[in-house]
Amino acid sequence: MKITFAKPELPSAGTLVVGILEEHRLTPTAQQADKQSKGAIGRALAVGRFKGRPEDQLSILAPQGLEVQRVQLLGLGKPEALDALTLQAIGGRLVAALNAAGEHSAFVAIDEIAGASLGVGEMAANLALGARLRSYRFDKYRTREKPEQKPTLKRLIIMVDDPAAARRSYEPLEKIGDGVVVTRDLVSEPANVIFPESLAEAAKKLQELGVEVEVLGEKQMKKLGMGALLGVGQGSACESQLAIMQWRGASDAKQKPIAFVGKGVTFDSGGISIKPAQGMEEMKTDMAGAGVVVGLMHALASRKAKVNAVGVIGLVENMPSGTAQRPGDIVTSMSGQTIEVINTDAEGRLVLADAIWYCQEQFKPQAIVDLATLTGAILVALGNVYGGLFANNDTLAERLLAAGKATGEQLWRMPLADAFDKMINSDAADMKNIGGRLGGSCTAAHFIKRFVKDVPWAHLDIAGVAWSDKDAATAAKGATAFGLRLLERLVADHYEER
């Protein structure tokens, strides 16, 4: 779907989309279309259930007096509540409705609205972003779809008085959308396509945008002492990798970077502690944290963010075999700390342990945020609504919570406490990789925390929000890329040069 911006005019084909505020208050373009159609819009509003709320839409077919095939009435809600997130959701729902109707082109009128907190250009840009995000569809392997099963919308023309200004407002949002697409593609691919080496190759494509990318193989990681990460992948025929991405966008080359570390378990069978067969196919998404880091670095580089940023992703496949790690094995991490492996299905924290330690040793970051589809326990606590946030620094935690609220990728702060830390003490090693049935997300976070030096750090457990089984306003069911937009916002608000 192509999104463009143009001057306002009543179109002669396709669908005309006009906004309606609550209490049936027509925007100027809606008033013009109502007059041209001899009151068709007013009559439709009088007899329907359309109230003008942000989730409301109403289609008027072949209205007399207008040359378009239909007029789509778009609820905008109350002017004072018409913020960026609301407009993104409206744009997403619009695209879904137009595709369901079989429309090919649509013209969306964006008018000045008294009392709205956003200007016309910002409103147009955010509606466009929502439309772009909702139009995403992972369909490369669908070879037998009927025409009526495929999306039809090819063009979305957003009409504003100053289309150049609207386009300028949209450009940085479009780069974020590009990053979201990169992440959703990576997370959606099956594990026979995305495995450690191929995901590392995907990271290397960022070199085209000016990102410096280095990939370490097993021999290099063994020399560095990454026994925790390597132990996870030793049962797989695929070689484990560590991909390092650097974006140097700050004017001060010596500025300490903000660092993002992602769990990249490209398939998690559970290893010797094998998972149940039912639902195991979903474990192709266990690299979603790494996918978000790749997409985030893509977004930052695409929009030439004025920041130094580092992305480190630990890439492994957790498989059972004659060479696989066993329950009871003891491994030595890059930090020198030893780990008794009680359950080979608690593997993501082992990957993060070495990846985070490497990141600190090499880059001395000013802050670290890691992302991982880490625990089933976080779903029990937060469902599919919030990502879990653990942090050793209140300022960083507050910044992340605010960024999540601003982007709709909401986090809920979870506790860190000595009692949880004591639960992972081992009789045979420095620690064990699980702490028992209770408080599973909290003990997992404490495991990672043992590999964090004196640096602000946050851990995002995205196990419940990286994939959705149902459609949302700005995402069809499937990979969500949760975390990318909130981390991009975090960088823009607090770490980027002004």
Angle at 192 between CA 186 and CA 194, to 5 degrees: 25
| Mean local confidence (pLDDT), 440-456 | 98
Q: C-alpha dihedral over 166, 167, 172, 174, to 10 degrees?
A: 110
Q: Is-same-fold flag (2-162; 177-494)?
A: no
Under the banding of pLDDT at 50, 70 and 90, the label for residue 211 is very high
Which pLDDT score is estimated for 90?
Answer: 98
Q: Is 349 a catalytic residue?
A: yes
Q: Is 175 a catalytic residue?
A: no
For 177-494, CATH gives 3.40.630.10
Which pLDDT score is estimated for 412?
Answer: 98
Q: Which of 53, 275, 449, 450 is catalytic?
A: 275
Task: Mention every residue, 6+ apart, whose C-beta is less than 8 A from residue 238.
Answer: 195, 196, 197, 266, 317
Which residue is listed with tokens 């879904």?
A: 96
Query: Is the pLDDT reported for residue 159 higher than 90?
Result: yes
| Mean local confidence (pLDDT), 277-284 | 97
As a whole number of angstroms, the distance between CA 258 and CA 381 comes to 29
Which pLDDT score is estimated for 395?
Answer: 98
Predicted TM-score of the model (pTM): 0.97
| Mean local confidence (pLDDT), 135-159 | 95
Task: Describe the strand order of the beta sheet including 338-340 as a list of residue ranges.
Answer: 330-332, 338-340, 431-432
Predicted confidence (pLDDT) per residue in 170-209, tens digit: 999 999 999 999 999 999 999 999 999 999 999 999 999 9
Nearest CA to 400 out of 370, 426, 425, 432 is that of 370
Q: Which of 132, 167, 284, 349 is catalytic?
A: 349
Q: Is residue 177 within 8 Å of residue 133, measured between CB atoms?
A: yes
Which pLDDT score is estimated for 48?
Answer: 81
Contacts for 407-410 with beta carbons within 8 Å, 24 or more apart? 407/85, 407/485, 407/486, 407/489, 408/85, 408/88, 408/474, 408/485, 409/465, 409/482, 409/483, 409/484, 409/485, 409/486, 410/385, 410/386
Predicted confidence (pLDDT) per residue in 101-111, tens digit: 999 999 999 99
Task: Mention every residue, 6+ apart, whose C-beta is less than 8 A from residue 39.
Answer: none
Q: Is residue 445 within 8 Å of residue 472, measured between CB atoms?
A: no
Which pLDDT score is estimated for 47?
Answer: 87
Predicted confidence (pLDDT) per residue in 295-347, tens digit: 999 999 999 999 999 999 999 999 999 999 999 999 999 999 999 999 999 99
- Which DSSP letter does residue 394 get? H
State in Å, rounded, how far the first CA of the chain is from the last one: 33
The chain-wide mean pLDDT, for the chain, equals 97
Predicted confidence (pLDDT) per residue in 216-251, tens digit: 999 999 999 999 999 999 999 999 999 999 999 999
* Residue 52: alpha-carbon gap to chain centroid: 30
Domain boundaries along the sequence of the chain = 2-162, 177-494
As a whole number of angstroms, the distance between CA 203 and CA 213 comes to 7
Q: Give me the CATH topology for the region 2-162.
A: Leucine Aminopeptidase, subunit E; domain 1 (3.40.220)
Query: Is the pLDDT reported for residue 147 higher than 90?
Result: no
Predicted confidence (pLDDT) per residue in 65-113, tens digit: 999 999 999 999 999 999 999 999 999 999 999 999 999 999 999 999 9
Share of the chain above pLDDT 90, in %: 97
Amino acid identity for residue 407 in this structure: T
